[in-house]
Amino acid sequence: MPVQTRQPRTQMLIGGEWIEAGGRSTFPTYDPATGKVLAELVEATPEDVDAAVRAATEAFGAWADLLPAARARLLLRVADLVEQHADELARLETTDQGQPLAISGGFSVPMVVNQFRYHAGWATKLTGITVDVSVPDVDYRTRREPLGVCGLITPWNFPLMLLSFKLAPALATGNTVVIKPAEQTSLTTIRLAELCLEAGIPAGVVNVVTGGGTVGKALVDHRGVAKISFTGSTEVGREIGAAAGRALKRVSLELGGKAPSVVAADADIDAAVAGNLMGGLLNSGQVCAAYTRFYVARPRAEEFVDKLAAGAGSQVLGHGLDSSTQLGPLVSAEQVSQVDRYVQIGRDEGATLVTGGSPADGDGFFYRPTVFTDVTDSMRIAREEIFGPVLSVIPYEDEDELDLVARANDTEYGLAAVIWSGDVKVANRLARRIRAGSVYINMPPLLDAAAAWGGVKASGLGRENGWDAIEAFTEVKSIWTAL
Ligand code: NAD
């Protein structure tokens, strides 16, 4: 299978210097479609994390003081460079993460470009207010200011795109950053940092330390870090939230999900099947907002299951660089084992397996798209995040909206939900009552740089994108002047 023509950069970036492994330990990153090692990366030491935070601290004053129009220009230059290198970045993402080129090139990289352009616009639009306070002889106003050094910790499922959700607003608002990408998929992060330098973003503003959870923890615990912006599992998010709480650091947490998809009796079933296949199998189900538990009105359940299973079963699995591929591999052998474990649990719990249910043959980390029906609310496959191509259909009898809402909400998560209905009033009533950060009506889960993204309950704290991201990377200062 063809791989990168350009050897990917693997060093860490600290204070504008590329840091080689030297005496440090290294770890491999794989092409998940072949199982072959792509490159060796550096495991950062606590001293590296400290050096990165110090470099970001030193760079902070000048970066925060840069004229907003100059910051905006630099972010626009990053966007232009990402666009110029779109094909290279997409191929690198596909090779390291597994997502088919149609996703990396058609969705992930264009989203990174949009994020930088969108947030470049905010750099010149940050405002405070003046307020007539009820205190005599004072002028009172507010300023919106950056936080300082922000630690950005990202997961492996959409490494480049999810980094841009954090990096673009953090930089636009005058913060400096230390990035810790997921150890499975660090290559595009390192390349984006290189493009930031090439765009003219000063040394020390963007730093990258690589390695596993201990490196992330060292960043979270560092006293010089003002904020942690984390995307990843709920389990790790809880730890980070607790540590940030103890240290009184700002924190944003984008965590796991178990999105319900309600398919009403009057829904357009073909549209629902197509949208749910996209929403459930995108990136082989390794999507936090993946539609995974389908509440389907009993009279339409058989038709829905047949069509969903036919669609899932006919997906072409292969290397993401191959243009005929519809579904790429899972990110790692561990992820294949985790998905397979859940499929076994589903069988043991009494769900009916309709299609899939096993790893696919070959060297890479592939899993066959899997559909279960006759799933019940209490089964673990209906409650726990699997993060793989496993779709669970839960037929429902009762048209009672409140009961349906209660069942959709009977989860610790609350990231996304979708309603498929021919009646826009019913759909909107359900959308209001379902507890989730984003609810989609008759559509797959889409994202936009201007649209708030985040979860409730165990799906996280805070929102990314749009004005919410600007608020998340700034503080309001009050300035009082005696007149
Ligand atoms: P993960 O929590 O295992 O790892 C995420 C990142 O945290 C990695 O960089 C990892 O090295 C680091 N990390 C691990 N332990 C740490 C610690 N103790 N302190 C600090 N950092 C630590 O998650 P993952 O397996 O990489 O990603 C999959 C998870 O991410 C899924 O649960 C998925 O739902 C979630 N996710 C959420 C969103 C969202 O927007 N809500 C988006 C994508 C993925």
3-state secondary structure 238-271: HHHHHHHHHHCCEEEEECCCCEEEEECCCCCHHH
Q: Which fold has domain 12-255+457-482?
A: Aldehyde Dehydrogenase; Chain A, domain 1 (3.40.605)
Whether the Cβ atoms of residue 119 and residue 75 lie closer than 8 Å to each other? yes
- Give residue 5's pLDDT: 56
Cβ(221) – ligand 1 distance below 6 Å: no
Please tell me which residue in 254, 302, 334, 401 is annotated as part of the active site.
254
Q: Is residue 43 flagged as an active site residue?
A: no
- Give residue 1's pLDDT: 46
Question: Cα of 281 to ligand 1 centre, how many Å?
Answer: 19
For residue 51, the SS3 value is helix
**What is the rounded distance in angstroms from the CA atom of residue 296 to the CA atom of residue 373?**
10
Q: Whose CA is nearest to atom 40 of ligand 1?
A: 254
Cβ(165) – ligand 1 distance below 6 Å: no
Question: Cα of 236 to ligand 1 centre, how many Å?
Answer: 7
Listed residue (241, 372, 390, 274) closest to 330, CA to CA: 390
Domain ranges for the chain, please list them.
12-255+457-482, 259-441
Backbone angles phi, psi at 429, to 5 degrees: -65, -45
- Give residue 399's pLDDT: 73
Give how far Cα 454 sits from Cα of 81, 118, 432, 437, 468, Å.
28, 18, 16, 5, 10
**What is the rounded distance in angstroms from the CA atom of residue 161 to the CA atom of residue 224?**
26
Task: Give per-10-residue mean pLDDT for the chain (483 aa).
Answer: 69 98 97 96 98 98 98 98 98 97 97 98 98 98 98 98 98 99 98 98 98 98 98 98 98 97 96 96 96 96 98 97 96 96 98 97 94 97 97 89 93 97 96 98 96 98 98 98 98
Backbone angles phi, psi at 25, to 5 degrees: -75, 160
For residue 226, the SS3 value is coil
**What is the rounded distance in angstroms from the CA atom of residue 172 to the CA atom of residue 69?**
10
Q: How many residues in total does the chain contain?
A: 483
Q: What's the CATH number for 259-441?
A: 3.40.309.10
- Give residue 398's pLDDT: 72
Ligand 1 nearest atom to the CA of residue 181, by list position: 9
- Give residue 115's pLDDT: 98
Question: Cα of 388 to ligand 1 centre, how many Å?
Answer: 15
Cβ(239) – ligand 1 distance below 6 Å: yes
- Mode of pairing for the β-strands spanning 291-297 and 390-396: parallel
- Give residue 412's pLDDT: 97
- Mode of pairing for the β-strands spanning 149-153 and 438-441: unpaired
Any residues with CB less than 8 A from the CB of 94 and at least 6 apart, and which? Answer: 100, 101, 103, 104, 105, 320, 321, 328
Could you tell me the two tokens for 355? 């299609």
Could you tell me the two tokens for 11? 């060093």
Cβ(287) – ligand 1 distance below 6 Å: no
